[in-house]
Amino acid sequence: MNSMHAGIGMTSARTRGRMIDRLRTQGIQDETVLAAMNSVPRHAFIDEALSSRAYDDVSLPIGHAQTISQPYIVARMTEILRNGKQLGRVLEVGTGCGYQAAVLSHVAKEVYTVERIQPLFAKAKKQLFDLKLRNVLVRHADGTSGLTDGAPFDGIIMACAAPALSATLKEQLAVGGRMVLPIGTQEQFLYLIEREATGFRETRLEPVKFVPLLMGKA
Protein backbone atom coordinates (compact mmCIF):
# COMPACT_ATOMS: atom_id res chain seq x y z
CA MET A 1 0.00 0.00 0.00
CA ASN A 2 1.09 3.54 -0.76
CA SER A 3 2.68 4.77 2.48
CA MET A 4 0.87 8.08 2.02
CA HIS A 5 -2.39 6.30 2.81
CA ALA A 6 -1.01 3.68 5.20
CA GLY A 7 -2.32 5.59 8.21
CA ILE A 8 -5.90 4.68 7.48
CA GLY A 9 -5.09 1.30 5.97
CA MET A 10 -5.81 -0.41 9.27
CA THR A 11 -9.37 0.88 9.45
CA SER A 12 -10.18 0.84 5.74
CA ALA A 13 -11.53 -2.75 5.81
CA ARG A 14 -13.90 -1.85 8.64
CA THR A 15 -14.94 1.51 7.16
CA ARG A 16 -15.41 -0.14 3.76
CA GLY A 17 -17.63 -2.74 5.44
CA ARG A 18 -19.77 0.06 6.86
CA MET A 19 -20.01 1.61 3.38
CA ILE A 20 -21.28 -1.73 1.99
CA ASP A 21 -23.91 -1.99 4.76
CA ARG A 22 -25.04 1.56 3.95
CA LEU A 23 -25.24 0.79 0.21
CA ARG A 24 -27.49 -2.17 1.02
CA THR A 25 -29.83 0.02 3.06
CA GLN A 26 -29.84 2.52 0.16
CA GLY A 27 -31.20 -0.23 -2.09
CA ILE A 28 -28.15 -1.63 -3.88
CA GLN A 29 -28.88 -5.36 -4.24
CA ASP A 30 -26.36 -6.66 -6.79
CA GLU A 31 -23.87 -8.70 -4.74
CA THR A 32 -21.29 -8.59 -7.56
CA VAL A 33 -21.38 -4.78 -7.48
CA LEU A 34 -21.20 -4.72 -3.66
CA ALA A 35 -18.18 -7.06 -3.77
CA ALA A 36 -16.51 -4.77 -6.33
CA MET A 37 -17.17 -1.71 -4.15
CA ASN A 38 -15.68 -3.61 -1.21
CA SER A 39 -12.52 -4.56 -3.13
CA VAL A 40 -11.62 -1.06 -4.36
CA PRO A 41 -9.71 1.17 -1.88
CA ARG A 42 -11.53 4.48 -2.44
CA HIS A 43 -9.04 6.29 -0.17
CA ALA A 44 -6.27 5.56 -2.71
CA PHE A 45 -8.04 7.75 -5.27
CA ILE A 46 -8.32 10.94 -3.22
CA ASP A 47 -5.96 13.41 -1.57
CA GLU A 48 -4.53 12.34 1.77
CA ALA A 49 -6.13 15.39 3.42
CA LEU A 50 -9.57 13.96 2.60
CA SER A 51 -8.75 10.33 3.47
CA SER A 52 -10.87 10.33 6.62
CA ARG A 53 -13.96 11.00 4.45
CA ALA A 54 -13.07 8.39 1.81
CA TYR A 55 -15.92 6.04 2.68
CA ASP A 56 -18.58 8.64 3.50
CA ASP A 57 -21.44 8.89 1.03
CA VAL A 58 -20.24 12.17 -0.47
CA SER A 59 -18.60 13.35 -3.67
CA LEU A 60 -15.16 14.86 -3.01
CA PRO A 61 -12.97 17.28 -5.01
CA ILE A 62 -10.09 15.78 -7.00
CA GLY A 63 -8.79 19.03 -8.50
CA HIS A 64 -9.34 20.64 -11.94
CA ALA A 65 -12.97 21.43 -10.96
CA GLN A 66 -13.74 17.68 -10.99
CA THR A 67 -15.05 15.33 -8.29
CA ILE A 68 -15.05 11.67 -7.31
CA SER A 69 -18.72 10.58 -7.27
CA GLN A 70 -20.37 9.49 -4.03
CA PRO A 71 -20.19 5.70 -3.50
CA TYR A 72 -23.98 5.31 -3.86
CA ILE A 73 -23.98 6.83 -7.37
CA VAL A 74 -21.01 4.68 -8.47
CA ALA A 75 -22.75 1.54 -7.17
CA ARG A 76 -26.15 2.54 -8.59
CA MET A 77 -24.80 3.27 -12.09
CA THR A 78 -22.76 0.06 -12.08
CA GLU A 79 -25.78 -1.97 -10.93
CA ILE A 80 -27.99 -0.51 -13.70
CA LEU A 81 -25.26 -1.09 -16.29
CA ARG A 82 -24.72 -4.71 -15.24
CA ASN A 83 -28.40 -5.59 -14.97
CA GLY A 84 -27.41 -8.88 -13.29
CA LYS A 85 -25.27 -9.99 -16.24
CA GLN A 86 -21.54 -10.43 -16.81
CA LEU A 87 -20.24 -7.46 -18.83
CA GLY A 88 -17.76 -7.86 -21.68
CA ARG A 89 -16.37 -4.57 -22.98
CA VAL A 90 -17.32 -1.32 -21.26
CA LEU A 91 -16.57 2.33 -22.06
CA GLU A 92 -16.39 5.02 -19.39
CA VAL A 93 -16.41 8.67 -20.46
CA GLY A 94 -14.73 10.84 -17.82
CA THR A 95 -12.11 8.81 -15.91
CA GLY A 96 -11.54 11.51 -13.29
CA CYS A 97 -9.47 9.90 -10.53
CA GLY A 98 -10.11 6.37 -11.88
CA TYR A 99 -12.35 5.11 -9.06
CA GLN A 100 -15.38 4.21 -11.21
CA ALA A 101 -13.07 2.48 -13.73
CA ALA A 102 -11.55 0.45 -10.86
CA VAL A 103 -15.03 -0.68 -9.76
CA LEU A 104 -15.96 -1.53 -13.37
CA SER A 105 -12.76 -3.59 -13.73
CA HIS A 106 -14.22 -6.06 -11.21
CA VAL A 107 -17.52 -6.50 -13.09
CA ALA A 108 -16.41 -6.32 -16.75
CA LYS A 109 -13.92 -8.22 -18.88
CA GLU A 110 -12.42 -5.06 -20.45
CA VAL A 111 -12.76 -1.41 -19.46
CA TYR A 112 -11.89 1.48 -21.77
CA THR A 113 -11.88 4.82 -19.97
CA VAL A 114 -11.35 8.26 -21.50
CA GLU A 115 -10.20 11.44 -19.69
CA ARG A 116 -9.74 14.85 -21.35
CA ILE A 117 -7.68 16.51 -18.57
CA GLN A 118 -4.03 15.45 -18.91
CA PRO A 119 -2.96 15.60 -15.20
CA LEU A 120 -6.05 13.59 -14.14
CA PHE A 121 -5.42 11.08 -16.94
CA ALA A 122 -1.77 10.59 -15.83
CA LYS A 123 -2.70 10.23 -12.15
CA ALA A 124 -5.57 7.80 -12.81
CA LYS A 125 -3.44 5.70 -15.15
CA LYS A 126 -0.71 5.37 -12.49
CA GLN A 127 -3.21 4.58 -9.72
CA LEU A 128 -4.96 1.87 -11.75
CA PHE A 129 -1.56 0.41 -12.70
CA ASP A 130 -0.44 0.43 -9.05
CA LEU A 131 -3.60 -1.49 -8.13
CA LYS A 132 -2.67 -4.06 -10.83
CA LEU A 133 -5.96 -3.59 -12.69
CA ARG A 134 -4.65 -4.80 -16.02
CA ASN A 135 -8.03 -5.00 -17.78
CA VAL A 136 -8.41 -1.19 -17.79
CA LEU A 137 -7.19 0.85 -20.75
CA VAL A 138 -6.92 4.59 -19.97
CA ARG A 139 -6.93 7.08 -22.87
CA HIS A 140 -6.23 10.82 -22.90
CA ALA A 141 -8.89 12.01 -25.34
CA ASP A 142 -12.08 14.00 -25.77
CA GLY A 143 -14.73 11.48 -24.78
CA THR A 144 -17.71 13.38 -26.19
CA SER A 145 -17.61 11.23 -29.31
CA GLY A 146 -16.86 8.00 -27.42
CA LEU A 147 -14.11 5.69 -28.65
CA THR A 148 -14.66 4.27 -32.13
CA ASP A 149 -11.68 1.88 -32.08
CA GLY A 150 -13.06 0.00 -29.07
CA ALA A 151 -16.71 -0.11 -30.19
CA PRO A 152 -19.16 -1.74 -29.98
CA PHE A 153 -19.48 -1.76 -26.17
CA ASP A 154 -21.77 -3.89 -23.99
CA GLY A 155 -21.98 -0.98 -21.61
CA ILE A 156 -21.24 2.75 -21.67
CA ILE A 157 -21.14 4.86 -18.53
CA MET A 158 -20.68 8.62 -18.43
CA ALA A 159 -19.38 10.37 -15.32
CA CYS A 160 -20.32 13.89 -16.46
CA ALA A 161 -23.61 15.45 -17.50
CA ALA A 162 -24.29 15.93 -21.19
CA PRO A 163 -26.82 18.58 -22.24
CA ALA A 164 -28.35 16.02 -24.63
CA LEU A 165 -27.84 12.44 -25.68
CA SER A 166 -25.08 11.93 -28.25
CA ALA A 167 -26.10 9.96 -31.35
CA THR A 168 -22.43 8.96 -31.82
CA LEU A 169 -22.30 7.33 -28.38
CA LYS A 170 -25.58 5.52 -29.00
CA GLU A 171 -24.16 4.02 -32.19
CA GLN A 172 -21.17 2.62 -30.23
CA LEU A 173 -23.49 0.55 -28.08
CA ALA A 174 -23.80 -3.15 -29.02
CA VAL A 175 -27.27 -4.60 -29.57
CA GLY A 176 -28.41 -5.72 -26.12
CA GLY A 177 -26.07 -3.14 -24.56
CA ARG A 178 -26.90 -0.49 -21.97
CA MET A 179 -25.72 3.07 -21.44
CA VAL A 180 -26.12 4.92 -18.13
CA LEU A 181 -25.52 8.66 -18.03
CA PRO A 182 -26.67 11.94 -16.49
CA ILE A 183 -28.41 14.31 -18.91
CA GLY A 184 -29.34 17.95 -18.33
CA THR A 185 -27.89 21.35 -17.51
CA GLN A 186 -29.72 23.11 -14.66
CA GLU A 187 -31.69 20.00 -13.80
CA GLN A 188 -30.03 16.62 -14.34
CA PHE A 189 -31.48 13.13 -14.44
CA LEU A 190 -29.89 9.72 -14.74
CA TYR A 191 -30.93 8.00 -17.97
CA LEU A 192 -30.77 4.39 -19.07
CA ILE A 193 -30.43 3.83 -22.82
CA GLU A 194 -30.96 0.26 -24.05
CA ARG A 195 -30.12 -0.81 -27.59
CA GLU A 196 -32.47 -3.41 -28.98
CA ALA A 197 -32.50 -4.98 -32.44
CA THR A 198 -35.31 -2.62 -33.41
CA GLY A 199 -33.84 0.59 -31.97
CA PHE A 200 -33.22 2.39 -28.68
CA ARG A 201 -35.24 2.59 -25.50
CA GLU A 202 -34.71 5.54 -23.13
CA THR A 203 -35.75 5.50 -19.47
CA ARG A 204 -35.47 8.52 -17.18
CA LEU A 205 -34.40 7.56 -13.65
CA GLU A 206 -33.66 9.67 -10.55
CA PRO A 207 -32.36 13.28 -10.33
CA VAL A 208 -28.56 13.58 -9.96
CA LYS A 209 -25.81 16.22 -9.79
CA PHE A 210 -22.69 15.83 -11.95
CA VAL A 211 -20.01 18.12 -13.32
CA PRO A 212 -20.78 19.15 -16.94
CA LEU A 213 -19.40 17.33 -19.98
CA LEU A 214 -16.82 19.53 -21.73
CA MET A 215 -15.42 19.30 -25.24
CA GLY A 216 -11.78 19.03 -26.26
CA LYS A 217 -8.59 17.88 -24.51
CA ALA A 218 -7.07 19.90 -21.66
pLDDT digits over 148-189, tens only? 989 999 999 998 898 888 899 999 999 999 999 999 988 999
pLDDT over threshold 50, residue 6:
no
At 28-77, the pLDDT tens digits run 999 999 999 999 999 999 988 898 899 999 999 898 888 889 999 999 99
- Per the CB < 8 A criterion, the answer to whether 42 and 62 are in contact is no
**What residues are labeled active site?**
69
One-character DSSP codes across the chain: --GGGHHHHHHHHHHHHHHHHHHHHTT---HHHHHHHHHS-GGGGS-GGGGGGTTSSS-EEEETTEEEPPHHHHHHHHHHHHTTS-EEEEEEE--TTSHHHHHHHTTEEEEEEEESSHHHHHHHHHHHHHTT-TTEEEEES-GGG--GGG-SEEEEEESSBBSS--HHHHHTEEEEEEEEEEE-SSSEEEEEEEEETTEEEEEEEEEE--PBP--S--
pLDDT at 14: 87
HSE on the CB side for 148, CA within 13 Å? 3
Which band of pLDDT confidence, cut at 50, 70 and 90, is reported for residue 7? very low
pLDDT at res. 95? 95
Which class does domain 3-208 fall in? alpha beta
Higher pLDDT, 181 or 212: 181
Q: At residue 12, does pLDDT exceed 80?
A: no
Q: Tell me the pLDDT tens digit for each residue of 66-124.
A: 888 999 999 999 999 999 999 999 999 999 999 999 999 999 999 999 999 999 999 99
